[in-house]
Amino acid sequence: MTTASRRSRHWVIGDVHGCDAALEDLLQRLPSRDRLIFCGDAINRGPNTPAVMDRIWGLVESGRAVWLRGNHEQDLINALQNGEAAVAGLDSALWLKRLRQLPMAYWGEGWVATHAGFDPESWQPDLRVRMGFWQNYDGRFGEVVIGHTPGPHVRHLPQIVMVDTGACYGGDLSAYCPETQQVVSVPGLQPNSADNVRMPSLSRC
């Protein structure tokens, strides 16, 4: 898990899901000196996963960004470990090494970002949890910023902020600043795009 440096401002970015054009647009709108926290599920569904992976990893290597593990990254790790999958145009061995490094959470001053939430029994990060966390979170970590569950806008539950705004389903790609509560959003895939995919049921996100 990764911890924030003091006095830095952060933007937690919701599930990119291969939407490279939207990500490029969003990055141009965010302050260049602020830290970026990608909330997992950067890959799959959208039209250009390799470009998104390369772009985010470049930001990680430059020290500007942290890429958190989501359930889609974990599924790819498992598949690559078992020799069951590859991403076209990418070095599978190299990316397996990189993806294994992705942390499960990023700890800020009075807030934490993680992909889906925390297991309400162990209070460890859980990549697929939903209702159990939403209903049982007791504020022990401060504000928790999560992706994983797409919706029409950034949503607020008691001490939980949900930043996945369905970029690959015709919604926006959004970033949330925990220090200021500001939201910046850009359009994701357009509804009439040949690359667009339908909103899945919650069990398939």
Q: Is residue 194 predicted with pLDDT exceeding 70?
A: no
Q: Rounded CA gap, 164 and 151, in Å?
A: 6
Domains of the chain as residue ranges with CATH: 9-191 (3.60.21.10)
- What is residue 101's DSSP assignment? T
Q: Rounded CA gap, 153 and 14, in Å?
A: 11
For the residues of 116-148, what is the DSSP string, one character each?
A: S-B-TTT-SB-SS--HHHHHH--STTSEEEE-S
Q: Which letter, b or e, does each residue of 97-113 get, where b requires 16 or more Cβ atoms within 10 Å of its Cβ?
A: ebbeebbbbbbbeebbb
The answer to whether the beta carbons of residues 78 and 70 sit under 8 Å apart is no
Residues 88-144: tens digit of each pLDDT: 777 889 999 999 999 999 999 999 999 999 999 999 999 999 999 999 999 999 999
Q: Rounded CA gap, 198 and 201, in Å?
A: 9
Give the residue among 82, 115, 127, 77 at the shortest CA–CA distance from 98: 77
CB atoms within 10 A of CB 134: 17
> Which of 39-48, 86-95, 174-183 is predicted with the least confidence, judged by mean pLDDT?
86-95
